[in-house]
């Protein structure tokens, strides 16, 4: 019997929100620092973008758009630090901000992906301090997830043991039911045989045999003639 589907693993929303806001603010700082060092002209302001003096001046998706338009990473660095195309990394960061701002709860699997993506970006832009902080968060999340999975396995084992016990009891009940049915059939057959035998005896007493009936008629006839 398969284990029934259960809920995904979630953090309490307050903890999730704290984690996501931390990731968002930290990533904005990482992006700002990299652009300030390597592409300062992108923060100087233009017709569509005011001058950026602090990390908080822009939202994470705006930083992502600047990266898309102005930053081209070396293919060797991409292969070293990313486990997916960089465009998917950017999309992931945009979704991180979306779920943070719109207060959407997600399971721990998504949180783990976002922490990993934050770590990857920090490594890609050379921010070792931020990468180390993200890695620490990632390790803590891994431990938490592993603990939750161990407890779920424990509950699954408990369920399967109970199901096995119930299956054995069900098999015993099925056996007892079968025996009861067989006993019923035997009892009915025996009762039918006894009834038939009893009825046959009673009929013999009430109805004489044909030969005896003829003898009685002949004796009665001789008596009448005499």
The tens digit of pLDDT for each residue in 64-88 reads: 999 999 999 999 999 999 999 999 9
> Does position 212 have pLDDT exceeding 70, yes or no?
no
Q: In whole angstroms, what is the distance from residue 96 CA to residue 113 CA? A: 10
Whether residue 118 lies inside any domain: the answer is yes
Q: Which of 101, 33, 34 is nearest to 61 (CA)?
A: 101
Average pLDDT over residues 153-160: 72
Tens-place pLDDT, residues 90-136: 999 999 999 999 999 999 999 999 999 999 999 999 999 999 999 99
Whether residue 57 lies inside any domain: the answer is yes
Whether residue 58 lies inside any domain: the answer is yes
Please tell me the pTM assigned to this model: 0.66
Whether residue 103 lies inside any domain: the answer is yes
Q: Which of 29, 9, 11 is nearest to 134 (CA)?
A: 29
- Which structural domain, as residue segments, surrounds residue 125? 13-156
Whether residue 168 lies inside any domain: the answer is no
Total domains present in the chain: 1
Question: 200 in helix, strand or coil?
Answer: helix
Whether residue 28 lies inside any domain: the answer is yes
Q: Are 60 and 30 in contact (CB under 8 A)?
A: no
Band (172; pLDDT cuts 50, 70, 90):
confident
Q: Measured on CA atoms in the order 106, 110, 112, 114, is the torsion positive or negative?
A: negative
Whether residue 98 lies inside any domain: the answer is yes
H or E element at residue 24: helix 13-38
Whether residue 111 lies inside any domain: the answer is yes
Show Cβ contacts of residue 60 under 8 Å, excluding neighbours closer than 6 positions.
Answer: 24, 27, 28, 31, 93, 94, 96, 97
């Amino acid at each position: 019997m398969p284990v029934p589907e259960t809920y995904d693993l979630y953090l309490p929303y307050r903890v999730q929100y704290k984690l996501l806001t931390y990731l968002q603010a930290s990533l904005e700082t990482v992006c700002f620092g990299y652009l300030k060092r390597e592409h300062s002209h992108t923060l100087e302001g233009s017709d569509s973008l005011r001058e950026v003096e602090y990390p908080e001046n822009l939202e994470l998706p705006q930083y992502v758009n600047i990266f898309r338009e102005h930053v081209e990473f070396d293919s060797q660095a991409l292969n070293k630090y990313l486990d997916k195309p960089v465009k998917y990394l950017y999309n992931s960061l945009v979704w991180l901000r979306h779920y943070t701002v719109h207060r959407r709860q997600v399971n721990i699997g998504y949180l783990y992906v976002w922490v990993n993506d934050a770590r990857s970006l920090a490594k890609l832009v050379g921010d070792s301090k931020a990468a180390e902080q993200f890695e620490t968060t990632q390790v803590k999340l891994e431990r938490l997830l592993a603990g939750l999975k161990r407890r779920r396995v424990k509950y699954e084992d408990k369920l399967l043991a109970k199901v096995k016990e119930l299956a054995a009891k069900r098999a015993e009940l099925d056996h007892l039911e079968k025996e009861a049915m067989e006993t019923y059939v035997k009892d009915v057959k025996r009762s039918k045989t006894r009834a038939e035998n009893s009825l046959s005896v009673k009929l013999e007493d009430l109805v004489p045999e044909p030969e005896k009936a003829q003898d009685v008629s002949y004796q009665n006839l001789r008596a009448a003639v005499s």
